Amino acid sequence: MPGDTTEVSAAPVVSGPRSVLLKREMPGLDVLRGIAILSVFFFHGLKWYLPLGALAGAHVRQIGQAVSFGWLGVNLFFVLSGFLITGILLDTRTKENYWSSFYIRRFLRIAPLYLVVLAILKFALNCTWDYVILCLLYLANFALEFPDSWTRLWSSLVACS
């Protein structure tokens, strides 16, 4: 019709990796992360405490078999985290201070909780200052003078008690 005008933008439509692969909200990935966390939780919480052999009934053996692959949840969680972090890096690659802002955000996300865990290790579970300092410097895995169960921070909550 005469008088109807349609405006067309001359700017090209650029579709980056985020528009194809990643979206701001991805509930499916949240479900997978939840499954990964629960699988590790049940693996460590049930697998080692279930009676084995003739003492175990059929249902207990089935539970043991169901949770025996829970260690795979760690791998799944790392893959998902890598995927999501790559999406963040791709989204911000054109911004100023690309790397420094990324690492500052990661530090501010991880460090407060890590310091709380170290405080729990020292004051609630009575770990030595040597061990807490090694954990703070991310050197606890190389500590030869501590028992094996103390060398990994994620298992230290049990080792210090």
Structure confidence by residue, pLDDT tens digits, 56-100: 677 777 777 777 788 888 889 889 888 888 888 888 889 888 889
CA torsion 82-113-38-71 (nearest 10°) is 60
Q: Which domain holds residue 66?
A: 23-94
> How many structural domains does the chain have?
2
Domain check: are 81 and 131 in the same one? no
Predicted local distance difference test score (pLDDT) of residue 144: 62
Domain check: are 28 and 85 in the same one? yes
In a domain, 122, yes or no: yes
In a domain, 2, yes or no: no
pTM, whole model, 2 decimals? 0.58
In a domain, 43, yes or no: yes
Predicted local distance difference test score (pLDDT) of residue 82: 87
Domain check: are 139 and 152 in the same one? yes
Distance CA 31, CA 73 (A): 12
Domain check: are 80 and 121 in the same one? no
- At 102-153, the pLDDT tens digits run 999 999 998 999 899 889 888 888 888 888 888 888 777 776 665 555 555 5
pLDDT above 50: residue 12: no
In a domain, 46, yes or no: yes
CB neighbour class for 88 (10 Å; exposed up to 12, middle 13-18, buried from 19): middle
| Residue 19 neighbours by CB distance under 10 Å | 10
Domain check: are 72 and 35 in the same one? yes
Distance CA 76, CA 79 (A): 5
Per the prediction, the chain carries an average pLDDT of 74
Residue with tokens 């799944």: 76
Query: What does R_g of the chain's alpha carbons equal in angstroms?
Result: 24
> DSSP letter string over 135-155?
HHTT-GGG-SSS-GGGSSHHH
Domain check: are 67 and 111 in the same one? no
Predicted local distance difference test score (pLDDT) of residue 112: 94
Cα dihedral across residues 151, 153, 154, 156: positive or negative: positive
Closest CA to 42 of 69, 67, 72: 67
In a domain, 5, yes or no: no
